[in-house]
Amino acid sequence: MSPESSATPHAPTPAPPATPNVSARGARRRLQALHARGWMAEDLAQAMGIPAVALERTIWQATITPRAHAIIAAAYEVLWNATPPCTPLARQHEMARAAANGWAPPMAWDDIDTDPEPQLGEPDAEILDDVAIAEAVAGHRPQLTRAERLVVVRQLHEAGHWDPVIADILGVCDKTVARDREELGLESNYAIQKREAA
């Protein structure tokens, strides 16, 4: 019998154990928060390199792979305060869908992975949409809450605009701007400039 035939055959090397899945809670909250900012599934899929159907499934499943969690978490850090690439109307529809589902926006979380519940503050407190405010200041006319409109009026007033210009940017009447400005305790820029020119 040859040495080759009498040798004990080696056992096959076992495959390394699969990496266990992790809780999908953090990834789910991140995706919901991005939807609450107006990000559509298709745009998130393109940004993350994950099919849109897989991202939507993540919102409802209990666990995901560590790799998927890392991709979603890394993309979230870049996208949470960025303007979605979709149209303002599509963004408003996505925000409405998120609100209907009760999905909390990014600023509602202190630690998005470990908070037991979103930190929404007092019942009458309002979370301002910084992206919508920035779009309004730029003249894109997104849908604003009254609190957000007051912020825009203040910013445009500080930029030196007169009431009619602010009204045109916001798509409201001059009286609305004048009423908002008076509530904010701001003198009209027309009156200020007229006084300074005297």
Dihedral angle, C-alpha 74, 109, 105, 78, nearest 10 °:
-20
Instruction: Report the range of poorest mean pLDDT among 75-89, 111-125, 162-176.
Output: 111-125
For residues 10 and 45, what is the distance between their CA atoms, to the nearest angstrom?
46
Over the chain, what is the mean pLDDT? 84
Question: pTM score, two decimals?
Answer: 0.57
pLDDT of residue 8: 54
For residues 22 and 73, what is the distance between their CA atoms, to the nearest angstrom?
13
pLDDT of residue 101: 87
Q: Counting every residue, how long is the chain? A: 198
For residues 132 and 143, what is the distance between their CA atoms, to the nearest angstrom?
7
Reply yes or no on whether the pLDDT at 128 is more than 60. yes
Comparing 4 with 151, the larger pLDDT belongs to 151
Tokens of 12: 């096959």
| Stretch 164-192: mean pLDDT | 88
Of the chain, the percentage scoring pLDDT greater than 70 comes to: 87
Q: What digits encode the pLDDT tens for the residues 57-95?
A: 888 889 999 999 999 999 999 999 888 888 888 888 888
Q: How does residue 108 score in pLDDT terms, banded at 50, 70 and 90?
A: confident
- Give 3-state DSSP helix, strand, coil % of the chain, rounded to 5: 55, 0, 45
Instruction: Look up tokens 């609100």; give the residue.
Output: 99
Residue 56 half-sphere exposure, CB side, CA atoms within 13 Å? Answer: 8
For residues 196 and 184, what is the distance between their CA atoms, to the nearest angstrom?
22
DSSP one-letter string for 80-97: TTSPPSS-HHHHHHHHHH
pLDDT of residue 16: 59
For the beta carbon of residue 130, count every other beta carbon within 10 angstroms. 16
